[in-house]
Structure 1
Amino acid sequence: MVFTAEACSYCEQLAHDVLIPLQASDEQNKPIIKAFDISTGNKIIDFDGSKVRGRNFISRYTVFATPTVVILDSQGKQLAAPIVGYNSKDAYLILLNNAIDSSRTAMQDIELPEKVLAGTQ
C-alpha cells in the first residue's frame, strides 16, 4: 500500500521512477500496488470488505508522512517495516527490495490451516 498526498512531489517522483516501472515489468511475482491519497479524507474498503474512515486506516499503519509504502498481506497484516519518504531511485530500490524479501520471508512463516496444507476442501 502506498500512502500518498495531493501535491506531494516526492510521491509523484516515486511513482514515476519506481512504482510504475515495477508494475510494467514482466516479473512473475511482482507485488500488487494499491495507493491511498491521505489528503482526500475518503472512506476506504478495508480488507474485510467494510468501509472505514481514511484517517482510521492511516493511523492503523502509523503513517505520518508521504510517501509511505507499507507491505501488507491479503488480510491487511503488515509484513515489513514501512518505507517513509523518497530520495533517489537507486537507494529506494534497495529499500524496497529488502522490504519485499522480508515480507516474502514473513509470508513463509505464516502457518496455513491443516486443510489447506493437506489440499482438502
Structure 2
Amino acid sequence: MKNLFRALIVFAALLGVVTWAQSGSRDAEGELLREITDLREEAAHGLPILVEFALHACPYCRVAEEEFLKPMIRSGAYEDRVLIRKLSMDRRTVIDFDGQEIRTHELAARYGARMAPTVVVLSPEGELLSRPVVGLKTVDFYGGYLDRAIDEAEQAMAERGQPEVVAAR
C-alpha cells in the first residue's frame, strides 16, 4: 500500500512537471503567430502576407491557428514564400498599407472577411492575391485550401513581374 501511495505521488509530480513545461512552451510560442498592428510594416518585407482575420473568443480561429498556421510557421517551409500573420477583429484599429489608421471591421469588409476565421493572401501593396479561405470548412482539407491560396498568390505576384518571390522558394 505504501508503494502504491509513493507511486501515485511520483506520478502526480511528473504530471505537474509536464503540464508546467507545456504551458511554458505555449507562452514562448505566443509570438509565433504575430498579430498585425501595422500592415505597412509587414509589407516592407516584400512578400505576400497571409492574414487570418480572427476573433479572440472564436474556437474555430484557435483550431486554424494551432493546427495549421503555427505548424506552417514552425516548419520553416513557408518562410521565404509568405508572411503568416493574424489580425484580430476585436482590435479597434490597425495601420493600413498607406500608413493611415483604419478600423479593423472596415479592413475586414474590404477583403470580404465577414466571419472568423477568414484567411486572405495580400500583396505588399494590399491587393487580394487569391480567393479568401472563409471559415473552417473541413479540417481534413483546410491545409490544402491554405496551400492553394499561397500558390495562387505566388502565381499572381509572378505575373505582376515580381519573380523574386517565387525564386526565393
Q: TM-score, normalised by structure 1?
A: 0.84
Question: What's the counterpart of residue 155 of structure 2?
Answer: 105
Question: What's the counterpart of residue 66 of structure 1?
Answer: 116
Larger gyration radius, structure 1 or structure 2: 2
Supply the distance in 1 between the matched residues of 2:68 and 2:122 (Cα, whole angstroms).
Answer: 18
Question: What's the counterpart of residue 84 of structure 2?
Answer: 33
Report SS of the residue matched to 1:106. helix
How much has 1:47 moved relative to structure 2?
A: 1.1
Moved more, 64-73 or 85-94: 85-94
Aligned pair partner of 1:76 in 84, 101, 126: 126
Question: What's the counterpart of residue 56 of structure 1?
Answer: 106
Higher relative helix content: 2
Report SS of the residue matched to 1:71. strand
How much has 1:19 moved relative to structure 2?
A: 0.3
Alignment length (residue pairs): 111
Q: What stretches of structure 1 of length at least 5 have no aligned partner?
A: 113-121
Which contiguous aligned blocks of 4+ residues in structure 1 show a shift greater than 6 angstroms? none
Is 1:23–1:30's contact at 8 Å kept on the other side of the alignment? Answer: no
How much has 1:30 moved relative to structure 2?
A: 4.0
Instruction: Give the share of equivalent positions with the same residue, in percent.
Output: 32
